[in-house]
Amino acid sequence: MTMQAARCPTDDLSLTNCVVANERDLKSGQHVMIRTTPTHKYVFTVKTHQSVVSGTIAFSLPQRKWAGLALNQDVQVATYTFDTSRQYVGTMTLEVDFLQKKNADSNPYDTDKMSIEFIQFFNSQAFCVGQQFVFSFCEKLFLLVIKDVEAMDPSILRGEQSSKKIDIGLLHGNSQVIFEKAESSTINLIGKSKTRGARQSIINPDWNFERMGIGGLDKEFSDIFRRAFASRVFPPDLVEQMGGKHVKGILLFGPPGCGKTLMARQIGKMLNAREPKVVNGPEILNKYVGESEANIRKLFADAEDEQKRLGVNSGLHIIIFDEIDAICKQRGSMAGSTGVHDTVVNQLLSKIDGVEQLNNILVIGMTNRPDLIDEALLRPGRLEVKMEIGLPDESGRVQILNIHTARMRQSNMLGTDVDIKELAVETKNYSGAELEGLVRAAQSTAMNRHIKASTKVEVDTEKAQELQVSRSDFWASLNNDIKPAFGTNQEDYSSYILNGIVKWSNAVTDILENGELLVQQTKNSERTPLVTVLLEGPPHCGKTALAAKIAEDSEFPFIKICSPDKMIGFSEIAKCQAIKKIFDDAYKSQLSCVLVDDIERLLDFVPIGPRFSNSVLQALLVLLKKTPPRGRKLLILGTTSRKDVMQEMGMLDSFSTTIHIPNISRGEHLVEALELLGGFQEDERTQIAQQVKGKGVWLGIKKLQMLIEMSLQVRERVRKRVRESERE
């Protein structure tokens, strides 16, 4: 339609940057394109006012200056529809100056606060490059000129740089507004929004995992972005149209030292949000009645206040709870307590997702014990994104080691013989903290070489200038200093195979080959993530040694022995908890082997009575059948000398297969064992062979080793007496 240009009816309307029309001609909130000539067109947002005469459209003075309009000039007016996939403002750069030079002052103006008020005031309005308008801030009037507009692009989620320039854009709550001082202006701008900080929406695209000191968590970060931040990048009205809601909480759990706290802290740096509030769980608790709940309310006070003022345009507030299990235990689980923990949980639940919902918060909780946390806190709408921060894989370990050796590499203090990939292969089941400790230990070993051993401790300064951390330093630290908490401790099982495996017959070779087949099944089969094997046989036949050998040859990153000698004096409950912890630790590794040694001793079984621990029996029955988590594989090797007892207790059926370990029962096998063990001369072995030829023997290999050692001691005593008698 053709309309006449008119003067804006009120000063307040001139500050809105909207054209004003009669409600019979146009509707408030719609966007129109104004054509002054066939080649000159401008887009504005409409407001209505009853004082505007129908058929006219009112412009403020800055708008008329920009568009070159005269009063009563005829203009062509048409409705304009934005392409929401291409024309939402991601970043808008504005040139700012005082509207009137006589009102200029030297006071600092915070561009961050200016940006918040700008987005709140001009939300859902159309803006064009080159446009001039007036903005009221801190009771001062400023003249703004739009210098540059970039479109919002979701590729920022993937950390990609994007700058799609557009001439016309629609401002929304997640737009980034940057203020720049106009040339020859005396205005004093402060804050982050005064420069082009390479930021767009709430995601800061300038983040880099390795520069932030994070390694091995790429997948976890991408999953958190997909779940927690994708909805916050898009304009609020688009999210509303989908009926979507923002994720308000994330729970990070996993073994100690894997980077939970580090990840939570760095999330704040990656987001264009308020500085995160980091709180240790126990700090919330207070001995005075009601103070613990008040501490929770204080954490959310800033977010509540901003949401009341700015609504959907409020910035994101991040609250990080370290050791959240300290304050959010299951309600009613602490018998005889004052109920403080319960009321703290209630207060936190109501703040995150209560009657008055906050939409501008993100709560990040961290714990090693997710099983202790109240279930109500883990439902969707609260801490709904549950992310396990597990032990890093090989590529993750390469990243972590590169991060911690970067400074040495830059300073040329890392030996050329150090192979990071080789170290990553050898550090299976090491957490991020343990890898950092390994680097520190290697540095200490290298520095120790340059300390003079004299009457006083002093550094050899000449050689210290050439200090380099070599491969041997890392290997010394790997073997002696740093052991993984969830890895394989070779000392545990090496004592069981101290004298090696004596292959006194083909039966022993067959047992080891069967064990190798079961190891390969555990590694390669997708259908059987859990393989359980029972090695049974008479006492002293070498069951534990063979099981330890199978475990060692498997080269699984996690090998643990569940042995009764480590549980002497434990109550039944303590024993169950110790066994469960071994299995829980095994589930954290991709490939694990658990050796449950001497099961009847674990069960406290004695034939007189008979007596056994039913609690431990039930715990073992459950754990032997429990399938590991997805992506994890577990081999369980059990040993027992009482197969009949296992049968009566119903445990035999819990094992996938049973392997019988025999005693030495034939003379030729005994001779073969004596030859392999050594200690006897050939003529002595011949004499023994003649004695046992055609006779049956019944002797365990462990017992045989003991008898050989005893006989050698007797022989040494006889020789000593002979030498003494000869001297006489």
Catalytic residues: 543-544, 597-598, 625, 702
User: Residues near 420 by Cβ (< 8 Å), separated by ≥ 6?
Assistant: 398, 401, 402, 405
Identify whether 529 is preceded by a cis peptide bond (ω within 30 of 0): no
Q: Which amino acid is at 30?
A: Q
- Residue 225, both tokens: 């972005």
CA distance 423 to 478: 9
- Taking only Cα atoms into account, the Rg of the chain, rounded to an integer number of angstroms, comes to 38
- With 0-12 CB in 10 A as exposed, 13-18 as middle and 19+ as buried, what is 497? middle
> At 88, phi and psi to the nearest 5?
-80, 140
Largest CA distance in the chain: 142
Q: How far is CA 201 from the centre of its chain?
A: 24
> At 572, phi and psi to the nearest 5?
-60, -40
Angle 158-162-167 (CA atoms, 0-180°, nearest 5)?
140
Cα separations (Å) of 213 from 216, 252, 514, 612, 690? 10, 18, 45, 52, 72
The bridge status of strand 657-660 relative to strand 558-562 is unpaired
**99 touches 143 (CB < 8 A):** yes
User: Residues near 558 by Cβ (< 8 Å), separated by ≥ 6?
Assistant: 428, 429, 486, 487, 488, 585, 586, 588, 589, 591, 592, 593
Angle 264-270-271 (CA atoms, 0-180°, nearest 5)?
95
**502 touches 677 (CB < 8 A):** yes
- With 0-12 CB in 10 A as exposed, 13-18 as middle and 19+ as buried, what is 212? middle
> At 201, phi and psi to the nearest 5?
55, -150
The kind and range of the H/E element at 146 are strand 140-151
CA distance 595 to 603: 15
Residues present in the chain in total: 728
CA distance 7 to 495: 96
DSSP string, 357-414: --SSEEEEEEES-GGGB-GGGGSTTSS-EEEE-----HHHHHHHHHHHHHHHHHTT-B
DSSP string, 280-301: EHHHH--SSTTHHHHHHHHHHH
CA distance 134 to 15: 6
> At 264, phi and psi to the nearest 5?
-65, -40
The bridge status of strand 188-190 relative to strand 108-110 is parallel
- Residue 365, both tokens: 């909780």
CA distance 651 to 625: 10
